[in-house]
Structure 1
Amino acid sequence: MNEKTSLKVKVQRLGSALSNMVMPNIPILIAWGVLTALFIPDGFLPNKDFAAMVDPMLKYLIPIMIGYTGGRNVYDARGGVIGAIATFGAIAGSDVPMILGAMAMGPLAAWVIKKFDEVVVPHVKAGFEMLVNNFSAGLIGFVLALFAHLLVGPFVDILTNVLAKGVDFLVSAHLIPLANIFIEPAKVLFLNNAINHGILTPLGLEQAQATGKSLLFLLEANPGPGLGVLLAFTFFGKGSAKATAPGAALIQFIGGIHEIYFPYIMMKPALFLAVIAGGVSGTFTNNMLGSGLVAPASPGSIIAILGMAAPKGIGNVLAVIAGVTVAAVVSFLVASVILKNDKSMVSDEDLAAAQATVSSSKAVAKGQAQAGLDAAVAELGDIKHIIFACDAGMGSSAMGASILRDKVKKAGLDIDVTNRAISTLTDASDTLVVTQEELADRAAKYAPSSTRVAVSNFLNSPKYEEIVTTLAGADSAAPIIAAETAVSDNDVEIDLNQIDEVVFAHDAAHTGSATMGLETIQAIFKNHDVKIPVMDVEFLGLGAYNAANIVIVTTTDTTALAQKYAPNAQHLSVESLITTPEYDKMVARMEK
């Protein structure tokens, strides 16, 4: 690894660590933001007694909780406690909100006590464990609190003031939009957490305390640039990128999962210009209109953003909407020009390769190499809880949990499905932990006795069907049968009157062509008012579709594999998933 790559990796891992400290405490930031907007002298409902909570919450509660969380992430509850002690020392040594100090002292204190335990605990006599544990944590916490009070607090005080003056200068000179030149590419490279939670959130809280709101909370969270790119692909894209862009736009804009548009940028690097132009123009609009949020919006959903804008009045809400709209329009226009003038065909393989690149970058950002579990879902046994675990326990894991929760409910299973940060997992044999593939190793560390399943995408995985089928007591492992020859286009006539569902089967490398085939047959069905649902599934998930009332569509070179997993289903083998005449023939037979 060269020096440049090494630096990138270090920054990405720093961003992940900062995010893990801040994200669990977002509810506190929101509570503080609402408290500030309502009860300070300039708020909607001025109240002297309630307003007395504003300053202590920002000065004490928020930093101490961040310090505790940072310590806990390093060394469980013991690290969290000593992290809180050390953070208080930094708070007492400064006059500014000690967010940065908490991010430094929490993990540092936990690391110190962890190293102490590794050296001392093995030599402690039986019966003295509690005495040594309590006094060691107390004394080490005492020393670290003094260190933070004398050095860390004053240093962060100076650093925060310098940064705050720099931000004030950029805002007053209307130069703050230039920050998006760096922020937008950083988001796609997964450096956004280091920028957003490490710099923008602490400075934004300082600014919001003084003025009631801050533009800094909008710099990274604005969904407009990503929305513009996805809309451009919707109208001017090609292949599976065009087909999948509308759904991605909905997830990104409403759900706040910005990561979903990163592969589209990686597929066509010139689109960095589109998101940069959108980010700069959106921030410029917000700056000119004086808009801002009272607290961080997380995730970056339009719903969360408007919720944090509303306490400052309808004028501020309209200004924020204007900033998002301008960002989306500018990004859309620039991306449209790039896509319309692109003479090369954007293939499904391009999107798949881009998704793989983004997945790899994300794995590096989280400090993990690509790691996966066996492709087949393990024997689940007596499972009472299902947990979706990701880095922060929000965003895509929450959406994945929602998807599987719905499937579990429809299957009539009495199993709770939740989501949380991977660092908060508890080991239990009656728990199934679902993680992304790049986090499989970390899940094994935190929950070694739990059943673990790794998926490539929380939002669309065939393993969910396998999980539900197995938990419901069905045999999800379809019998493997020999198939010497594939079925040709004309060897079988499918009667759609006897079919309840059409399934396109594919492997991970050919998701795009299956998606395009799905779009093709859905269009034919729509034109002929055929109400049969159509979906795509990876081969390993076909066990859930092993029934005579389901037709599985595959290419001729993969039909035999599909028959192994679903021998009882009907199979349609075609030369091309996109241009075959078999779809029209099926519909014609149905209408006779």
Structure 2
Amino acid sequence: MRKFGQLLSAMIYQNIAVIIVVGIIRGIFGIYGYFYNDRILLLVNPIYHTLLPILLAYTGGRLLGGQRGAVVSAVVTYGFTLASSVPIIIGAMMIGPFVGWMIDYIERKIKDKIPVGYELLILNTLTAIVGVVLTIVCFLYVGQILSFAIKSINNFIQAIINSWWLPFSAFLIEPGKVLFFNNIINYGILSPLGIQQAKEIGKSIFFLLESNPGPGLGVLLAYWLKTRNEKRKIVGLSMFIHFIGGIHEIYFPFVLRNWKLMLAVIGGGITGNIIFQSFGGGLV
């Protein structure tokens, strides 16, 4: 699970600049931006629908299948984008690593059986054949199925956001963070959902749920009030690193040292989520 979380994390943060570019464009030139410009906004949909999914899949394919895995993942995902009526960011994060792993597996199985001097020709040809088959299948069949699934997920998510169940996601998020599953929760689940929702309504509450530093700050503040001397200095530095630096992992050992504090971070998470939801909070 940890390796899977690291893979998802790498796919997102290696392409984070593209996501920020879209956020800045929408924030400045969007409907609620400072300088509304419908012509500049024409850049947004192609980035969401085509460029970002391809980059995510390319990165996932490269991490597991090298350059050939990256190229095939990008081509297959392009077939996805042409067949889908919605952004397939979540689908790209699944298909990229899968295709990369498949290419790597095929290469390892046949590499020793290829005559010397024919490696480049045979491996590239075989890779192309795999790419052709997967691209056609995704274009004709998988794209439509995935579009329907993503639309259903979006409707379900919107229903949850409009209900009062969302704050209680802290029962899963906060213990998961403390057990060092924060990357899986954030990059594997919440960030793709947030990107998808931001495309639809211009902002997303999902960017705030795991990244909220409030519960961790509360725990560290309590430790700071109860400790003295050198320990207090250490906790004070931890507060700065956590709240200003954004490094959640700094407070996890404090909770693991006293399991009763798990209730504290869950309560803090629920409180923060209620505030976000009540005031229509979200990030672009």
Give TM-score, length-normalised by structure 1: 0.46
- Alignment deviations for residues 120-179 of structure 1 (CA, whole Å, 9 cap, x no partner): 232333333332232222221111112333444334323322322222112212331111
Is residue 89–residue 196 contact of structure 2 (8 Å, CA) maintained in 1? Answer: no
Find the counterpart in structure 2 of residue 134 from structure 1.
124
Structure 1 gap segments, 5+ residues each:
1-10, 295-592
Secondary structure at the residue paired with 2:281?
coil
Aligned residue in 1 for 2:272: 282
Instruction: Tell me if 1:92 matches 2:64.
Output: no
Distance in 2 between residues matched to 1:187 and 1:285, nearest whole Å? 20
SS state of the match for residue 266, structure 1?
helix
Q: Within 5 A, what are the aligned runs for 1:395-434?
A: none
Q: State whether structure 2 residue 160 is matched by structure 1 residue 166.
A: no
Q: Deviations over 1:232-265 (max 9, x none)?
A: 1111147865441110110011111100110000
Shift of 1:47: 1.4
User: Which residue of 108, 117, 121 corresponds with 2:111?
Assistant: 121
Change in Cα spacing, 1:152 to 1:248, as seen in structure 2 (3 Å) is: farther
Identity over aligned pairs, percent: 39
Higher RCO, 1 vs 2 (CA within 8 Å, ≥6 residues apart): 2
RMSD: 1.9
More helix by share: 2
- Distance apart, 1:39 and its partner CA: 2.1
1:483-510 deviations in Å (ceiling 9; x for gaps): xxxxxxxxxxxxxxxxxxxxxxxxxxxx
Say yes or no: does 1:112 pair with 2:102: yes
Q: Aligned AA for 1:214?
A: S
CA contact (8 A) 2:213 2:242 kept: yes
Distance 1:83 1:36, change over 3 A: same
* Structure 2 partner of 1:400: none
Q: Would the alpha carbon gap of residues 122 and 241 (structure 1) be closer, same or farther in structure 2, given more than 3 Å must change? A: same
* CA shift in 2, pair 1:230/1:152, >3 Å: farther
CA distance change for structure 1 residues 151 and 179 in 2, over 3 Å: closer, same or farther?
farther
Equivalent residue, structure 2, for 1:147? 137
After TM superposition, list the pairs within 5 Å mapping 1:370-389 onto structure 2: none
Question: Counterpart amino acid of 2:238?
Answer: A
In 1, Cα distance between equivalents of 2:145 and 2:238: 43
1:89 Cα deviation from its structure 2 partner? 2.1
> Of 228, 237, 242, which residue of structure 2 is paired with 1:247?
237
Matches within 5 A, 1:306-385: none
| 1:189 and 2:167 are equivalent in the alignment | no
Counterpart among 193, 197, 202 of residue 212 in structure 1: 202
Q: Distance in 2 between matches of 1:185 and 1:151?
A: 39
Aligned partners of 1:233 and 1:241 also within 8 Å: no
Is 2:205 the counterpart of 1:236? no
Provide runs of 4+ in structure 1 moved above 4 Å.
238-241
Structure 2: stretches of 5+ with no match in the other structure: none
Structure-2 residue corresponding to 1:41 = 31
Distance 1:72 1:187, change over 3 A: same
SS of equivalent to 1:154: helix
Cα displacement (A) at 1:48? 2.2
Q: For 2:189 and 2:269, how far apart are their aligned partners in 1? A: 18
TM-score (norm 2): 0.93
Q: Which amino acid aligns with 2:122?
A: V
Look up the SS of the partner of 1:52 in the other structure: helix
Measured in 1, the distance between the counterparts of 2:151 and 2:185 equals 17
Q: Which of 39, 52, 72 is the equivalent residue of 2:62?
A: 72
| Post-superposition offset of 1:65 | 0.7
Q: How many residues align?
A: 284
1:198: Cα distance to partner? 2.1
Higher mean alpha-carbon deviation, 209-218 vs 233-242, is at 233-242
